[in-house]
Amino acid sequence: MSARYLLRPHIGMVHEPGPPLRTHLADLRRGPITTLPGASAVILHVALQVEVDTITAEVARLTEADVDAIRESVREHLEQLVESAFIELVSTDR
C-alpha cells in the first residue's frame, strides 16, 4: 500500500523558513495555534511532500542525520501530529 500524510481539512498552516525554522498549525474551527520548531517543522514539511516509506530518509538527508538515529523520533513526531488531528494518513493507491 502506498500512503502519504495530508493536512486535515480544518487545519491552517504557516511555514516560516527562518532562521529559526518554524511551522505554525491551528485548528481553524477552534484553535489554538501550535508552533513546531526546527526538526519538528522539517518532519512535518517532508511528511506532506513524500510517500510514507521515504519520510525518514528524506529528513535524514535534509538534516544530515543518520537514518537509524532519527527513525524513532520521526515516528513519534508523526504519531503526535496524527493524534493531535493535524494530519491524517491516506492511501495513494488507486
- pTM listed for this prediction: 0.91
Q: What is the pLDDT of residues 69-91, one digit of tens each?
A: 999 999 999 999 999 999 999 99
In a domain, 61, yes or no: yes
In a domain, 94, yes or no: no
Rounded CA-CA distance 77/8 in Å is: 16
* Cell numbers describing residue 65: 542525520
* Cell numbers describing residue 86: 493535524
Number of domains making up the chain: 1
Contact 88, 6 (CB under 8 A): yes
**81, burial (CB in 10 Å: exposed 0-12, middle 13-18, buried 19+):** buried
In a domain, 57, yes or no: yes
Domain range enclosing 37: 3-89
* Cell numbers describing residue 15: 511555514
Q: What is the pLDDT of residues 22-59, one digit of tens each?
A: 999 999 999 899 999 989 999 999 999 999 999 999 99
Q: Other C-beta atoms within 10 Å of 50: how many? A: 15
